């Protein structure tokens, strides 16, 4: 058994190493790899991905998993090895169930489809994109057959991003969100008292924005010796290893909040990956446990901390220092209100913290219709527009600002969208417990003492990497399964105060 | 046969792809990968290198080479495929001849030894380093046995960096260099008329230096869409693919020539790699043919063009524009003389264009003694110092500025040093032909028209990649084998003029 285990650990370490290197290649392609090298680089990525796929689905891997899965053997394994066997088997089963030719076709299709989507979005041409999307949906329906239907077909897709999450569960959660957040958003709109944001309509020196980004990341406890900050149009975070977690942001002279909150958001993702236990290094367990839990950390830091009154009590004077003269006539309170304007909008990525969840709810409902109710791709624009009208009271004037706005579906990522709202719900529930465990948390934040919170999150979330399922994490922290009420309570309290809804 | 060839091309393409990705990882490690990720990254590099080694020495590769090497089959191959078979076989033979455990030991030893060298250099502790160096020399002697002695044992090492180069050939070349360059250096010293360099003892704005570096690279024809310029302590160039050839430089506020000539030097290497024929893309033939030919291009551009009178006729006004006011009282001629000061020195990498060759000659003689005459490692400092005294008239005051100054030996790179002087000799001989083929070359350079020269170099050198041996390249260009006389003529003419030796 020792040999079997050694061999198994070797293979999984190698999978981790390949994925580290692939992560670096992707980072490079997004941060400045020269244009003329992209074709060769893509081919090299294809070769390495192919090696990785072969390794993870090899007969050798199958035999090792078989041996290590024998009850006596399995029982004798360490907790880490048991988890490693489970996670590797999940990947193995998923990949082995697909006919390789089908998978290859899908990889090519989705890469072409992403380019087609870009063109279609630019040219407002849903019809041009829909032939790709139809095939992608059709293939995903096939995949679900191969993988096996869990409850409903859509559940099979959900499980990839949020292990254990189901449609009934999401129906309940989004139903509750709808019943509390739609009225809240309507009350805000009816109030008609938009906070002043005129002080944000100005030019903000890019060098000063960069300094501020680095300053705030350091305050959060982001370790620059285990990461770096670069610039890309679309900010992202990527954990190559525990010792190398990189983030990117973007700076616009006329949009200070954009850089600021992108940086904090990606910083939240990065704190998770930088603080995974060293015990898990060199294994594929050294990463976030799900998209939802990952998103909980970016959103907790970006919105619940970064857009909180207490945070700006401490950091507004720092902001003033970074942009001398530009905030002389603004108070911390006015700034806090200005960065928390909530209003219905058409574009998800520009939405505020409250209405964002309604954008996600719409996508969830549509995806479910696609996979569980046979909605046809050609009917998407109509359904999309009707749902926006109903939930947000706005209607896109064309498909580019409607059904074509997001990249996800062009890459075949169905079941991913719910992660964003799950992240918000997890975050609110976590923070509720954190406040009881760290009774002075609000005071600490208002004094810029962010390390107690980071420590608590590390202890309860970060260090575990992929050792615990999302449901175990939230249960361990709060003593109950995921609820929507914490998020609703948090948003109601925050926005009723900001909008003086009495 | 078609299948055999297809399979062979697949494997060689994969080797090229692995090496592209490894190249990227090394680039990343040198340009800003975070410190805490280095340990994991090194392990990942080890895994990928190991895969590459296995692939290049696999039984499958052996069988393919065997089949493709059959006379009838081989004769039916295209020129590129024939060359690919030859080069792959060379690598295969070299690697298969070493016992894998010995090779593994060597990889670990040299990586430890590079760290030990850094410490030893800092602490002037040759004894501390010599136990590593002794084992490295001993292992190289063993390798030579495994690989087979070519002429003399040292020839076997030489051939790795400069295919076809031999000790008798180098003895002749360095003998000639010695007999003409030592007296020239002495005459300069005796003349005692050092050009004025006071205008270089100033502060030069780093942003302006960066702009100048980019400007000059563009003038040379470096394609920024197929590369990028970054900063590292030790500048380098790396060709990941024809479409991605990256260079680095460094900027010091008090040392303008350092950035300037590092940039041009690495730019020369990059022009070579960017202009390899697209036909060779995706094969391991898409790289420079030898270290010597590569170095000929960095040195031709850095010294023979970049430090020429004509170049500064055109670019001195540009320099003045980049540093307003700082060169108002300097003439192009004074600048030209100032950047061409020649004087004996102890440190190779700081040496001028003339005496540089004497530094290399010393290393060549010592390496030859180590492998052909049984020189003991413990005697290196004494031999080193004696040779510096004899050839340059200077003696290191300690080993840090003597035998410990270069990294090469700590990594086991014996036989590499001659490449630098070979590069100078190749470059002078190439330029001599270029001047007859492009009769207005001097005029073109003085007008900043660098593209005819780049075009000529592309036609005769760059596009061929690894398709031709170094000896074929120089023979095709000049109609004769490599000679030292062109370099000696060039240096004598240039420095007798600068130092007014009449």
For CATH 1.10.1370.30, the residue range(s) in chain B are: 198-341+430-482
B382 is in an annotated binding site: no
CB A85 within 8 A of CB A77: yes
Distance (Å) of CA B467 to CA B62, B164, B276, B464, B471? 22, 14, 10, 5, 12
Distance CA B358, CA B424 (A): 12
Residue A104: is its pLDDT beyond 90?
no
Residue B502: is its pLDDT beyond 90?
no
Interface of A with B in 278-307 (CB under 8 A): 281-282
Confidence of residue A367 (pLDDT cuts 50, 70, 90): very high
pLDDT given at position B107: 86
Which residues sit opposite A247 in a β-bridge? A229, A237
Minimal Cβ distance to A37: which of B32, B41, B226: B226
The set of residues, in sequence order, having a beta carbon less than 8 Å from that of A129 and lying 6+ positions away, is A113, A116, A117, A119, A120, A121, A404, A410
Distance CA B298, CA B267 (A): 7
Q: How many residues does chain B have?
A: 502
Which residues sit opposite A255 in a β-bridge? A252
Minimal Cβ distance to B24: which of A14, A25, A39: A25
CB B255 within 8 A of CB B197: no
CB A211 within 8 A of CB A260: no
Question: Quick one: average pLDDT of A56-61?
Answer: 96
Residue B111: is its pLDDT beyond 90?
no
Confidence of residue B206 (pLDDT cuts 50, 70, 90): very high
Q: Closest Cα partner for A179 from A399, A487, A470?
A: A487
Distance CA B3, CA A301 (A): 57
Q: Closest Cα partner for B472 from B285, B272, B290?
A: B290
Structure tokens at A22: 């692939």
Alpha-carbon radius of gyration of chain A? 23
Distance CA A472, CA A466 (A): 11
CB B137 within 8 A of CB B378: no
Interchain contact, B282 vs A243, CB within 8 Å: no
Question: pLDDT for B374-429, tens place per residue?
Answer: 999 999 999 999 999 999 999 999 999 999 999 999 999 999 999 999 999 999 99
pLDDT given at position B1: 74
Residue A1: is its pLDDT beyond 80?
no
CATH class of B198-341+430-482: mainly alpha
CB A239 within 8 A of CB A253: no
Instruction: Return phi, psi of residue A481, to 5°.
Output: -70, 175
Q: What angle do CA A155, A161, A162 make, to 5 degrees?
A: 70
The 8-class DSSP code of residue B346 comes to S
Question: Quick one: average pLDDT of A142-169?
Answer: 96
Question: pLDDT for A172-230, tens place per residue?
Answer: 999 999 999 999 999 999 998 899 999 999 999 999 999 999 999 999 999 999 999 99
- Residue B87 is a catalytic residue: no
Interchain contact, B241 vs A33, CB within 8 Å: no
Backbone angle region of B415, left / alpha / beta, with phi > 0 → left and psi within -120 to 50 → alpha: left
Question: Quick one: average pLDDT of B292-316?
Answer: 98
Distance CA B376, CA B364 (A): 16
pLDDT given at position A101: 87
pLDDT given at position A401: 96
Residue A340: is its pLDDT beyond 90?
yes
Structure tokens at B362: 């010393």
CB atoms within 10 A of CB A110: 19
The residue with greater pLDDT, B370 or A114, is B370
- Name chain B contacts of A20, Cβ cutoff 8 Å: 40-41, 44
B69, HSE (Cβ side, Cα atoms, 13 Å) = 12
Specify the pairing of strand A244-249 against strand A229-231.
Answer: parallel
- Name chain B contacts of A40, Cβ cutoff 8 Å: 20, 240-244, 281-282
* A242 part of contact set with chain B, CB < 8 Å: yes
Q: Closest Cα partner for B416 from B151, B160, B166?
A: B160
Residue B478: is its pLDDT beyond 80?
yes
Task: Give the position of tokens 């198994």.
Answer: A8
pLDDT given at position B192: 86
Which residues sit opposite B230 in a β-bridge? B248
B265 is in an annotated binding site: yes
Q: What angle do CA B366, B372, B374 make, to 5 degrees?
A: 80
Confidence of residue B186 (pLDDT cuts 50, 70, 90): very high
CB atoms within 10 A of CB B478: 19
Question: Quick one: average pLDDT of A32-50?
Answer: 91
- Name chain B contacts of A37, Cβ cutoff 8 Å: 226, 240-244
For CATH 1.10.1370.30, the residue range(s) in chain A are: 198-345+419-498
CB atoms within 10 A of CB B380: 22
Q: Closest Cα partner for A118 from A104, A132, A103?
A: A132
Distance CA A335, CA A332 (A): 5
pLDDT given at position A502: 78
Interface of B with A in 51-70 (CB under 8 A): 51
CB atoms within 10 A of CB A394: 15
CA dihedral B254, B256, B258, B264 (to 10 degrees): 160
Question: pLDDT for B57-103, tens place per residue?
Answer: 999 999 999 999 999 999 999 999 999 999 999 999 999 999 988 98
Confidence of residue A97 (pLDDT cuts 50, 70, 90): very high
- From 2.60.40.10, 3.40.50.2300, 1.10.1370.30, 3.30.1360.120, which CATH number describes the A198-345+419-498 domain? 1.10.1370.30
Which residues sit opposite A245 in a β-bridge? A239
Distance CA B461, CA B15 (A): 24
Catalytic residues of A: 266
Question: pLDDT for A412-462, tens place per residue?
Answer: 999 999 999 999 999 999 999 999 999 999 999 999 999 999 999 999 999
Backbone angle region of B124, left / alpha / beta, with phi > 0 → left and psi within -120 to 50 → alpha: left
Q: Classify B229 as helix, strand or coil.
A: strand
How many helices (H) and strands (E) chain A has is answered by 21, 3
Which residues sit opposite A229 in a β-bridge? A247
Residue A404: is its pLDDT beyond 80?
yes
Distance CA B153, CA B189 (A): 38
pLDDT given at position A108: 85
CB B226 within 8 A of CB A41: no
H or E segment and range at residue A240: strand A237-241
How are strands ordered across the β-sheet holding B229-231? B229-231, B244-249, B237-241
pLDDT given at position A237: 97
- Name chain B contacts of A32, Cβ cutoff 8 Å: 228
Question: Quick one: average pLDDT of B126-138?
Answer: 96
Structure tokens at B24: 């990227």
Outline where DSSP puts E strands in A140-228.
none
CB A40 within 8 A of CB B20: yes
Q: Closest Cα partner for B452 from B441, B436, B463?
A: B441
Q: Closest Cα partner for B122 from B410, B383, B404?
A: B404
B295 is in an annotated binding site: yes
Question: Quick one: average pLDDT of B245-260?
Answer: 97
pLDDT given at position B108: 86
Give the minimum alpha-carbon distance from A228 to chain B in angstroms, rounded to a whole number.
7
Interchain contact, A44 vs B37, CB within 8 Å: no
Question: pLDDT for B112-122, tens place per residue?
Answer: 898 899 999 99
Q: Which of B162, B266, B302, B365 is catalytic?
A: B266
Which residues sit opposite A230 in a β-bridge? A248
Distance CA A19, CA A51 (A): 11
In chain A, the largest separation of any two C-alpha atoms, in whole Å, equals 71
CB A436 within 8 A of CB A303: no
pLDDT given at position A111: 83
Mean pLDDT score of chain B, rounded to an integer? 96
ipTM: 0.93
């Amino acid at each position: 058994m020792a040999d079997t285990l050694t061999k198994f650990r070797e293979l999984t370490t190698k999978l981790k190493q390949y994925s580290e290197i692939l992560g670096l290649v992707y980072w490079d392609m997004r941060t400045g790899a020269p244009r003329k090298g992209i074709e060769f680089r893509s081919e090299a990525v294809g070769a390495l991905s192919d090696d990785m796929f072969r390794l993870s689905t090899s007969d050798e891997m199958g035999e090792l998993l078989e041996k290590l899965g024998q009850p006596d053997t399995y029982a004798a394994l360490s907790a880490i090895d048991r988890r490693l066997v489970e996670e590797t088997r999940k990947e193995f089963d998923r990949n082995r169930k697909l006919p390789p030719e089908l998978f290859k076709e899908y990889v090519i299709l989705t890469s072409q489809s992403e380019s087609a989507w870009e063109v279609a979005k630019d040219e407002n041409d849903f019809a041009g994109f829909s032939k790709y999307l139809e095939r992608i949906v059709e293939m995903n329906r096939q995949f679900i057959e191969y993988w096996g239907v869990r409850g409903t077909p859509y559940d099979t897709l959900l499980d990839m991003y949020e292990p254990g999450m189901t449609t009934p569960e999401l129906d309940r959660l989004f139903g509750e969100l709808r019943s509390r957040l739609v009225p809240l958003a309507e009350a805000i709109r009816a109030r008609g008292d938009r906070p002043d944001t005129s002080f944000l309509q100005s030019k903000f020196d890019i060098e000063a924005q960069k300094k501020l980004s680095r300053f705030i990341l350091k305050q959060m406890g982001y370790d620059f010796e285990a990461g770096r900050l670069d610039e890309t149009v679309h900010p992202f975070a990527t954990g190559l290893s525990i010792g190398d977690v990189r983030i990117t942001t973007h700076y616009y002279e006329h949009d200070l909040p954009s850089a600021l909150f992108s940086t904090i958001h990606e910083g939240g993702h990065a704190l998770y990956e930088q603080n995974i236990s060293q015990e898990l290094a060199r294994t594929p367990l050294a990463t976030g446990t799900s998209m939802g839990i990952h998103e909980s950390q970016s959103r907790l830091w970006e919105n619940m901390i970064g857009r909180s009154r207490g945070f700006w009590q401490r950091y507004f004077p720092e902001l003033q220092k970074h942009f001398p003269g530009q905030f002389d006539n603004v108070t911390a309170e006015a700034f806090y209100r200005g960065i928390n304007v909530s209003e219905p909008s058409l574009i998800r990525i520009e939405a505020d913290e409250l209405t964002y969840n309604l954008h996600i709810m719409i996508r969830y409902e549509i995806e479910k219709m696609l996979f569980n109710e046979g909605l046809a791709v050609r009917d998407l624009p109509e359904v999309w527009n009707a749902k926006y009208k109903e939930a947000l009271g706005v209607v896109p004037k064309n498909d580019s600002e409607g059904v074509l706005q997001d990249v996800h579906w062009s890459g075949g990522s169905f079941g991913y969208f719910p992660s964003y709202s799950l992240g918000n719900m997890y975050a609110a529930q976590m923070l509720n417990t954190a406040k009881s465990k760290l009774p002075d948390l609000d005071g600490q934040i208002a004094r810029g003492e962010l390390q107690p919170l980071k420590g608590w999150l590390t202890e309860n979330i970060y260090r575990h990497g992929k050792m615990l399922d999302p449901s175990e994490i939230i249960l361990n922290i709060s003593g109950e399964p995921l609820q929507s009420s914490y998020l609703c309570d948090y948003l109601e309290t925050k926005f009723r105060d900001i909008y003086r809804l009495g």
